[in-house]
Amino acid sequence: MTESTSLKSGTHLYEVEFRDYHLERPGFRVAELHLSSSQQVPWHSHTHISDTFYVMTGEMRLFLRDPKESITLAPGQSYCVDAGRPHLVTNAGNELLSFLIMQGVGEYDYVPLVAPKP
């Protein structure tokens, strides 16, 4: 995988069942996402912000690089991915995964690790 350039948003690069922003302020936001068992948020990183995931229903599997790691989160569990660390978010189960993601503090960007298709 090769890193590509930073985007202001990567939401157009993948599909989710549901996405809503509960809070958006300069330098910080909270979003709710739902992923079906076949959906994922592709490999990416963020230059300045961390992602803190909090699972509400279902089971999440996070794949991370630098160092390579795999983490499974159940409802009520959370995990913070530091700025600059590549990660992939998947639904680890057969039921709908719903989670909150807190992103900040700093300017948001989305750095895909595979160049988006034109």
User: 107: closest CA among 47, 42, 53, 51?
Assistant: 47
Give me the pLDDT at residue 2, please: 42
Domains of the chain, start order: 11-112 (2.60.120.10)
**Which pLDDT band, with edges at 50, 70 and 90, does 4 fall under?**
low
25 to each of 4, 9, 30, 78, 86, how far by Cα in Å?
Answer: 26, 15, 9, 22, 24
Average pLDDT rounded to a whole number, residues 54-60? 98
Distance CA 38, CA 105 (A): 30
What average pLDDT is seen over the chain?
Answer: 92
pTM above 0.95, yes or no: no
Mean pLDDT calculated for residue range 18-29? 96
Tokens, residue 44: 């990416």
